[in-house]
Amino acid sequence: MTEVVGRIRPASNVPTRLLLFGGIALLIFCIFPFVAGEFQTNLMAKLLLFGALGVSLDLVWGFTGILSFAHGVFFTLGGYVAAYYLKLNLSASANNYGGTLPDFMVWNGLTELPWFIAPLQFFPVAAIAMLLIPAGFAYVIGWFIFRSKVSGVYITIITLAISSALTTFFISQQAYTGGTNGITDVSKLSLLGIVIPPIGLYFIILFFTAALIAGGWWLTQSNFGLILRSIKENEKRISYLGYDVAGFKIFIWTLSAAIAGIAGGLFVPLNRFISPVYLAVAFGTQVVIWVAVGGRGTLFGPLIAAILLGQVQNSVDRITQDWQLIVGFILLLVVLFLPDGLMSLLPKPLRFTENNQVTGYLPPAPKKR
Amino acid sequence: MSVCALQIGSSLVSSLIDLAQTAPAEPKAAFSMIAFANQLLNGVGIVGILLLTGLGLAITFGVMRIINLAHGEFIMLGAYVSFVLQSAFKMDLLLTIPFAFLFTALVGAVVELTIIRRLYGRPLETLLATWGLSIVMQGIVKLIFTAQLKYVKAPPYIRGNLTVFGSGEQAVEISYYRLFIVVVALLLLALTAFLLYKTSLGREVRAVTQSREMAKCLGVNTSLIDMATFAYGCGLAGIAGSVISSLKSVAPPMGQDYLVDAWMTVVAGGVDKLVGVLAGAALIGESKAAIAFLLDDPAARVIVLAALIILIRYRPEGLFTIQKRA
């Protein structure tokens, strides 16, 4: 793992026009909540998180070539951690039963808090678990599948099975997870004793997403990113050059799961509940669709697609109940006729993907001792 | 990194322990051979369903290497064909099966012509496109028939139970309907094996999969073969849907329930030989039934899926495939 991290070198240059457009976009997003109403602010915060989730999938799929339907799972694992924290910190008056035990546990006959959930009532533990549980789960899976001869399509089928199995598992463990309903009626997020208002939450989420985009850009433009893209192009060749391909894959896979977990953790204070709906394959598919429609390997594409599709869905939902059908058509058309997604419709200078070709020199591979 | 792996490991173990601890807490009869035998026969029914739903995939994936995630929706289409024919013409379920085959095969042929054909040699793109297709098919069916659950009646002569031995409370029995599913599945398996290995058409199909270019040079109409094979695989899914339509209700999302399991069946058994599907179905169906007997249904599903993931990790070519040199 240290060898892999050692590969990350700063990107050589950031184009001025990227700084310009990024700055303008950030400014617009900063002004947005003061212009739009509370409903739109909350919706936009949600879509920013979905966009961040899309970006995390883009890192493994668009840049490294691993298609995963399990990113919704990592997102939801982070979400459950946050939901336990918020549920356990409900003030006694707000809790229907006056006690410290969450209502769904009372309904299912639990008399005391299970020991593996209890530590989550403390903020530092929950904050770390929000990141470590999805990342740890992803690391185990990643170690398991990437250090084997399992090839692309099988990995995708495994991620489908994981999502399906976990959904069943969470629904069946009603006493611990709230079953089909999930964890509802959670408290509002408060930091240092101050309850965070919706607009504060919006800015936390905006900061997270902006930092993710900046960090993602830096990562993918670095030597490390070059190796990832090379793995996508020709895995065998990279491994013949002496690189530990599996190590790189596991690293980016774990990192992206951690990002998805944080996004999920931020989602719960906003959404006020989490349920197995977000574990299911359908939500994992949504994430894949954002990336496919936005453009694989573009970093900005998934974010734009998530916001665009989300806003369209919001307005279309009032007219028709068949949003899913439209989404299916969009996915089908994009795969068949626009394989590089919406970003490829933009003029070239605005795509910021010119450095994504596998050119230049790979740094020397580490010596085997 | 290893520390967090340990953490998640221990939390997983603890939840598994909880799973084991909570399960026996439910009031359950003491271990009885009769109940266990019944559960194993129940497993035979599951094997039949898995075999039936996996067989179409064994053609589209096993023979043609097409990743078809819309397979579940072809099953759903077959079930709706049976529903429509039964409610409009009062047709017997058995008589609707050929129509289900023809209709889904036709849809399959159209899909091959318009979508799959453009994506040969790009498995991940095919996977995405068929996933989009599955959403579209669900959406269209929902538009036409609404999301309401529909019911298909089984013909009277395959209702009731066959008693294997014993009687009354102590009887070991299997329903005729599940037996019917198993018989249809085995017949279809035999028919498909015959078509694939004993006819000139099957020889051409195998030639195209082995070397498209060479087959073309020898005068095989490869694009026609591709279309026919894919259509046949989809038709098999249609038969599966028609046959299982009266087992549960018929609804637009029903295909999703069968998709992951059908894939697991095909992958577990290995796709080089058709008989691998039978082996995969037998393995998954019976272990599911046995674990469900000891714990409960969700636990059985989770454990079997986890075991299959481990299996794919160590033998991606499936359990019952002869090792080949790469």
> What was the pLDDT predicted at A6?
59
Q: How far apart are CA A335 and CA B115, in angstroms?
A: 10
Structure tokens at A358: 């596998």
Mean pLDDT of A339-350: 76
> What was the pLDDT predicted at A349?
67
pLDDT digits (tens, 9 = 90+) for B182-192: 888 899 999 99
Residue A251: count of CB within 10 angstroms of its CB: 24
Question: The domain containing residue A275 runs over which residues?
Answer: 2-356
Cα Dmax for chain A: 64
In a domain, A264, yes or no: yes
Contact B139 A328 (CB under 8 A): yes
The shortest CB-CB distance from B305 to any of A114, A116, A165 is to: A165
Structure tokens at A215: 């960090």
> What was the pLDDT predicted at B108?
94
Nearest chain A Cα distance for residue B305, angstroms: 6
Q: Helices in chain B by DSSP H: which ranges?
A: 2-25, 33-57, 71-89, 93-114, 123-145, 176-198, 200-210, 212-217, 222-244, 254-269, 275-294, 297-314
Q: Does B166 touch chain A (CB under 8 A)?
A: no
Average pLDDT over all residues of chain A: 82
Contact B5 A139 (CB under 8 A): yes
Q: Is A351 exposed, middle or buried (0-12, 13-18, 19+ CB in 10 A)?
A: middle
In a domain, B9, yes or no: no
Residues of chain A above pLDDT 90, percent? 21
Alpha carbon of residue B173 to chain centroid = 24
Residue of A nearest to B261 (CA): A161
pLDDT for residue A346 is more than 90 = no
In a domain, B325, yes or no: no
CATH number of the domain to which B206 belongs: 1.10.3470
In a domain, B109, yes or no: yes
Cα angle B308-B311-B316, degrees, rounded to a multiple of 5:
115
* DSSP type of residue B62: I
Contact B135 A324 (CB under 8 A): yes
In a domain, B292, yes or no: yes
> What was the pLDDT predicted at B3?
40
In a domain, A331, yes or no: yes
Task: State the sign of the Cα–Cα–Cα–Cα dihedral B54, B57, B63, B67.
Answer: negative
Mean pLDDT of A68-84: 92
In a domain, A48, yes or no: yes
* DSSP type of residue B147: S
pLDDT for residue A57 is more than 60 = yes
Q: Helices in A272-359 by DSSP H: which ranges?
A: 281-294, 300-316, 323-337
Residue of A nearest to B304 (CA): A165
> What was the pLDDT predicted at B107?
95
Nearest chain A Cα distance for residue B165, angstroms: 34
> What was the pLDDT predicted at A160?
86
Mean pLDDT is lowest, of A131-135, B150-154, B200-204, for: B150-154
- Domain count for chain B, please give it: 1
DSSP string for residues in B148-187 = --B--PPPGGG-SEEEEE--GGG-EEEEHHHHHHHHHHHH
Residues near A80 by beta carbon (within 8 Å), at least 6 away in sequence? A177, A183, A264, A274
- The residue with greater pLDDT, A310 or A368, is A310
In a domain, B193, yes or no: yes
Contact B301 A288 (CB under 8 A): no
In a domain, A366, yes or no: no
Nearest chain B Cα distance for residue A368, angstroms: 21
Q: How far apart are CA B58 and CA B111, in angstroms?
A: 18
Contact (CB, 8 A) for B74 and B255? yes
Query: ipTM beyond 0.90?
Result: no
In a domain, A60, yes or no: yes
In a domain, B20, yes or no: no
Mean pLDDT is lowest, of A24-38, B47-61, B111-125, B147-161, for: B147-161
In a domain, B178, yes or no: yes
DSSP string for residues in A27-87 = HHHHHHHHHS-HHHHHHHHHHHHHHHHHHHHHHHHTTT----S-HHHHHHHHHHHHHHHHH
Mutate to test the interface with A, among B64, B128, B304 (most CBs of A within 10 A): B128
Cα–Cα separations (whole angstroms), residue B254 to A284, B75, B82, B241: 18, 8, 14, 9
Q: Which of B223, B320, B230 is nearest to B272 (CA)?
A: B320
Contact (CB, 8 A) for A299 and A216? yes
Rounded to the nearest 5°, which phi and psi values hold at A300?
Answer: -85, -30
- Domain count for chain A, please give it: 1
Helix (H, G, I), strand (E, B) or coil at A247: helix
pLDDT for residue B233 is more than 80 = yes
Q: Helices in A178-299 by DSSP H: which ranges?
A: 198-221, 223-233, 235-240, 245-271, 281-294
Q: Identify the residue whose tokens are 């065998």.
A: A236
Chain B environment of A152 (Cβ under 8 Å): 123-124
In a domain, A189, yes or no: yes
What is the residue type of A353? Answer: T
In a domain, B19, yes or no: no
Contact (CB, 8 A) for A40 and A226? no
Structure tokens at A249: 């894959």
> B305 forms bridges with which residues in the sheet?
none
Residue of B nearest to A108 (CA): B22
Contact B127 A322 (CB under 8 A): no
Residues near B108 by beta carbon (within 8 Å), at least 6 away in sequence? B74, B230, B231, B232, B233, B234, B235
pLDDT for residue B325 is more than 60 = no
* pLDDT confidence bin for A94, thresholds 50/70/90: low
CATH number of the domain to which A190 belongs: 1.10.3470
pLDDT for residue A1 is more than 70 = no
pLDDT for residue A58 is more than 80 = yes
In a domain, A367, yes or no: no
Contact A173 B15 (CB under 8 A): yes
Chain B environment of A335 (Cβ under 8 Å): 119, 125, 128-129, 132
Question: The domain containing residue B198 runs over which residues?
Answer: 32-163+171-314
In a domain, A363, yes or no: no
pLDDT digits (tens, 9 = 90+) for B245-289: 888 888 888 888 788 888 888 888 776 778 888 888 888 888 888
pLDDT for residue B198 is more than 60 = yes
> What was the pLDDT predicted at B322?
55
Q: Out of A54-63, A180-189, A218-227, A270-279, give the one with best mean pLDDT.
A: A54-63
User: How many contacts does A have with B, using Cβ atoms within 8 A?
Assistant: 145
What is the residue type of A336? Answer: L
Mean pLDDT of B219-232: 89
Q: Identify the residue whose tokens are 């003491």.
A: B30
Contact (CB, 8 A) for A8 and A219? yes
